[in-house]
Structure 1
Amino acid sequence: MEKMTPADISTVDAAAALEGWHRARAAYVTGAHGPLSLVFTHWGQAGEEPVAEDVARADWPAHVIFSRLQRDNIDTGELEHGYRIWDTQSPAQQAFQGIGSYGFNPEWIIDAEFEYVDESRFMPFEHLRDSGATRGLPVSGDIVFTLNGVEHRLAAFDAGDKLQLVFADATSRTDTYASGRFLFIPRPDVSADQTPGTRFPVTLDFNHAVVPPCGFSNQMNCPLPPASNRFTEAITAGEKKVIWTEGFSL
């Protein structure tokens, strides 16, 4: 038996860590507030009072979970109130067989840079269920890297302490989820007085690319990849599609 090199050991450790990450993902999507449990989303009109919980629950079994949410109206910016119903016994939960994925691929761990632009910059993102309309999301910088001699400048919006990259590639609509996938990247610690144009190193590990929530529930409304985030290459890393029992579809 040949002795393993440090590079071999590193690859084995990374692959094992990725398996643990996949198990955690499965636990999340099947959880009480995981996307497989989401069976209903309701949005009221701008200016309307929130729906009372007992009214919202009236047509659902007693075991379901109720939660509230809110957003700005896509046209006027006025506040809209909504709610969701979650059911761990949903048809999607019962039909779920797992998430298909690629094996660990070190070629898709890419060194990149986050180029700070402006904390107040918002960019339009089309969403799956908004019939072509766009919602402005905070994009305080661009992710820049070179792949096969071509420079890419990606729009990743700010999501707390993460940057959320919505992308599509040559595997979309064939091997992977048709509307694209998500990748979450630790957001660099940018000070309030940082000069626009300053770059910070980031790592894009596409082994952690995920099927978006709308791949698990038709009650989710996910952002779609903008033109800058559509790759001609096949990114053969990360999650592929949800695996359902035969005959089931959302």
Structure 2
Amino acid sequence: MQTSEPVQTSEPVQTPQTAHDAWRAGRRAAVTAPTGNLSLVETRWFAGDVDADEAARRVAAEREAAPEGVTVTPVERKNISSGRAEHGLRVWNAHAPAIAAFAEIETFPFDPNWIIDAEFTPVSADRTVPFEHIRDAGGSRDLVVPGDITFERDGQRFTLAAFDDAGQLLLVFGDPTNGKGDATGTYGSGRFLFVEREASQFGEPGRVRLDFNRAFVPPCGFSAQYNCPMPPAQNRLPWPVLAGERLPRFTGGFDIYTV
């Protein structure tokens, strides 16, 4: 019996533009998810010397009592003065007002000129850089910076600090677009950018790529319940970075700070 050969179909070739479009769609899905940035409605820190076991009991009790669509998770930080562990919880609402009012994340058009090759140079494993955080009233928290990221643009050489965010290099940077009120304005406290580098390679020098088209609005741009780091002095770039996300846009005059 003669059988026919299967029809060979080719998948669409992904271009930088279509890859960028897919990234934007993924970002929208992430921030609107039941535990995405827009759904965070409360961050509550337990008062007193609550240890990890007691914190776990309190979180479990809150989770048990939570209504449908609400998720309760533990959160931990170090006291900004003493370094002592502090425990708390976060409440995520899949039907949060911010999700209902969310329209889009305004974004610059994709521009390949904002994909920049850089060099990663590891540093001592105990090196930290003080990062001021948006809700710490001018205080700073020391974050581990595995290495320096160096690149050149417009005849200038820059060395940036990206910290270790749970095994990923996270660059917190600022530029003159931050807080501008025109069509080039971006989130006032700076933006974030993940740098592709495996945690196992933090101790090895090598090339990295900074794709500023994937610069994104930090979580605190979607909920006032986050405490985001702000760019240190060495991460403030002198020219406008006209790439990546600009600002979240909401309908009906919604404001995350008046919820």
Smaller-chain TM-score range? 0.7 to 0.9
| Equivalent residue, structure 1, for 2:5 | none
SS at match of 2:177: coil
Residue 180 (structure 1) aligns with: 190
Report Cα offsets for 1:199-244 as digits up to 9, x if no partner: 3111100011000000000001100001111112111111110010
Aligned residue pairs total 236
State the alpha-carbon separation in 1 of the partners of residues 47 and 149 from structure 2: 36
Give unmatched runs, 5+ long, in structure 1: 1-9
Aligned pairs (5 A) from 1:62-211: 62-174=68-180, 175-187=185-197, 199-211=205-217
1:46, 1:122 → 2: CA distance?
28
Q: Tell me the TM-score normalised to structure 2 length.
A: 0.85
* Partner residue in 2 for 1:232: 238
| Farther-moved stretch of structure 1 (181-190 vs 136-145) | 181-190
C-alpha distance in structure 2 between counterparts of 1:199 and 1:138, whole Å: 17
Tell me the amino acid that sits aligned with residue 181 of structure 1: R
66-75 or 205-214: bigger deviation: 66-75
Deviation at 1:60, TM superposition (A): 6.3
Aligned residues of 1:166 and 1:223 also touching (Cα < 8 A): yes
Which residue type is aligned with residue 216 of structure 1? F
Write the deviation string for residues 70-112 of structure 1: whole angstroms up to 9, x where unpaired: 1111111111111000001111011100100011101110010
For residues 232 and 58 of structure 2, the distance between their equivalents in structure 1, rounded to whole angstroms, comes to 37
Distance in 1 separating the partners of 2:164 and 2:59 = 31
Deviations 1:136-185 (A, max 9, x none): 10002111111111110111101234210001111111211111000001
2:205 partner letter: R
C-alpha contact 1:46 1:81 (8 A) present in aligned 2 = no
2:22 to 20, 23, 29: 20
User: Could you tell me whether the CA contact under 8 Å between 2:66 and 2:72 is conserved in 1?
Assistant: no
Residue 3 of structure 2 corresponds to none
